[in-house]
Amino acid sequence: MTDQISEKKHTSGDGQSMWGGRFGAGPSAIMQEINASIDFDKRLYREDIAGSKAHSNMLAAKGIITGEDRDAIHSGLDQVQAEIEAGKMVFDPALEDIDMHVESRLRELVGDAGARLHTGRSRNDQVATDFRLWCRSAVDQLDTAYAGLLSAITEQADKHAASVMPGFTHLQTAQPVTLGHHLMAYYEMFNRDRSRLADCRKRLNENPLGAAALAGTSFPLDREQTSAELGFDKPMANSLDAVSARDFAMELLSAMTIGAVHLSRLADEIVLWATSAFKFLELSDSFSTGSSIMPQKRNPDAAELVRAKVGRIMGAQNGLMIVMKGLPLAYSKDMQEDKEPVFKAVDDLALCLAAMTGMIEDLKPNTAAMREAAGQGFSTATDLADWLVRVLNLPFRDAHHVTGTVVKEAETRGVDLCDLPLEAMQAIEPRITADIFDVLTVDASVNSRTSFGGTAPANVKQAVATARKALK
Closest by CA to 375, choosing from 183, 179, 167, is: 167
Q: Which of these is catalytic: 170, 218, 276, 451?
A: 170
Produce one character per residue of 58-88: b if its CB has 16 or more CB atoms within 10 Å, e if not. Answer: bbbeeebbeeebbebbbebbeebbeebeeee
DSSP string, 379-408: TTHHHHHHHHHHHH---HHHHHHHHHHHHH
Contacts for 144-148: CB closer than 8 Å, 24+ residues apart: 145/350, 145/353, 145/354, 145/357, 146/190, 146/191, 146/193, 146/194, 146/197, 146/259, 146/353, 147/194, 147/471, 148/353, 148/354, 148/357
Among this protein's residues, is 181 annotated catalytic? no
CA distance 94 to 431: 88
Q: Which of these is catalytic: 137, 195, 291, 332?
A: 291
Q: How far is CA 90 from the centre of its chain?
A: 33
For residue 234, the SS3 value is strand
Among this protein's residues, is 170 annotated catalytic? yes
3-state helix, strand, coil in the chain (%, to 5): 65, 5, 30
Report DSSP state, residue 235. E
Which residue numbers are catalytic? Answer: 170, 291
